[in-house]
Amino acid sequence: LPRGKGWMTEHLVQYQGVWLTPNFALKGLMWVQDHFKPRSTDICLATFPKTGTTWLKALTFATVNRTRYGFADHPLLTTVPHGCLPFLEACPNDLDGFPSPRLLSTHIPYTLLPNSMTVNQSCRFVYICRDPKDVLVSKWLFMNKLRPKELAPISLEEAFELFCQGISHYGPYWDHVLGYWKASLETPEKVLFLKYEELKEEPSVVVKRLGEFLGHPFSLEEVSKGVVEEIVKLCSFENLSNLEVNKSSVLKLSTQIIIDNRHFFRKGKVGDGKSYLTDEMIKRINEITSEKLLGSGLVFGS
Ligand code: A3P
């Protein structure tokens, strides 16, 4: 798809069924396949854009490092969540020097990851998914904010059509979700599969599961002292979105991709997508979702 279409920024190409930007995502994927040296101790946060990446990064970083930092002078008060762990597609070339266990992040679908990450060395993954209606609307509004001034905003109708056809960065969305979902069923000790909606509903329960999976279970003493709730509070939408660092920093992913960090915080609500979509759109996207997920055991709300 040419620039101006396919969510406006860089043009998108389809590689092995997945829509990627050639100069960033595809290049990053090639780097991961050819140069990344995984360790069995690596923890990789895998997400589809707009499903809660920023939140998951903050929660994981705070959980793993909870004995290193106090809550009053925590790095998350002065560093954006995206700055706390390397993003694989940005080809970070200093990873060999990182002490284990390394916390990493990626948007690459499970099916495109090299065997060295999924079979041989086998990293552990934490994946978060979200209702496709909320992902679509969050993505549409986000992309319009990032839009170069000379390009007209994309309409919701066009964004909807593209998303439903699977045309979205790292899409189709449903295939991305299913890749990690199936892996989590086959190797639950390697892939923790979370839902944004569950995290919103019972953050403390999910954070405890996260700690357990990461090999940093919360002790009874920590639980009774309220450490889990402190982490939830530190990483809440209200707290993170109001921090000066998250309002004023820019995220430089490449020489061309520079994003105002504040755009990663919009509403942080469940079900907001439906207030933008028509009944017909909701019906159609729900039908696609049921069809795609049929027999998988995975469901999203209506
Ligand atoms: P909305 O646009 O629906 O508000 P990502 O981090 O993958 O880019 O996803 C961004 C989405 O997560 C946005 O959704 C954003 O508001 C929401 N978000 C960011 N930080 C959050 C937090 N701490 N808690 C809940 N939602 C958060």
pLDDT in tens, 32-64: 999 999 999 999 999 999 999 999 999 999 999
Mean pLDDT, the chain, rounded, equals 93
Q: By alpha-carbon position, which residue is closest to atom 10 of ligand 1?
A: 50
Residue bearing the CA closest to ligand 1, atom 5: 50
> How far, in Å, CA of 149 to CA of 8, rounded?
11
Instruction: Indicate the top mutation candidate among 237, 262, 275, 276 to test ligand 1's pocket, ranked by most ligand atoms within 8 A of CB.
Output: 237
What residue's CA is closest to ligand 1, atom 20? 55
In whole angstroms, what is the distance from residue 273 CA to residue 137 CA?
5
In sequence order, which ranges of 165-278 are alpha helices (DSSP H)?
173-186, 196-201, 203-213, 220-225, 227-234, 237-242, 244-248
Q: Phi, psi at residue 190, to the nearest 5°?
A: -105, -25
Catalytic position from the list 11, 74, 82, 107? 107
- Pocket lining: 266 vs ligand 1, CB cutoff 6 Å: yes
CB-CB contact of 288 with 164 (8 Å):
yes
Q: What is the mean pLDDT of residues 269-291?
A: 98
Q: Which ipTM score applies to this complex? A: 0.99
Residue 1: the pLDDT is: 55
Q: For residue 120, is pLDDT > 90?
A: no
Q: For residue 35, indicate whether it is catalytic.
A: no
pLDDT at 249 over 90: yes
Give the global pTM.
0.96
pLDDT above 70: residue 112:
yes
Residue 122: what pLDDT? 83
Helix 203-213 with 53-64: angle, nearest 10 deg = 60
Could you tell which of 63, 82, 138 is best to mutate to test the pocket of ligand 1, judged by most ligand atoms within 8 Å of the CB?
138
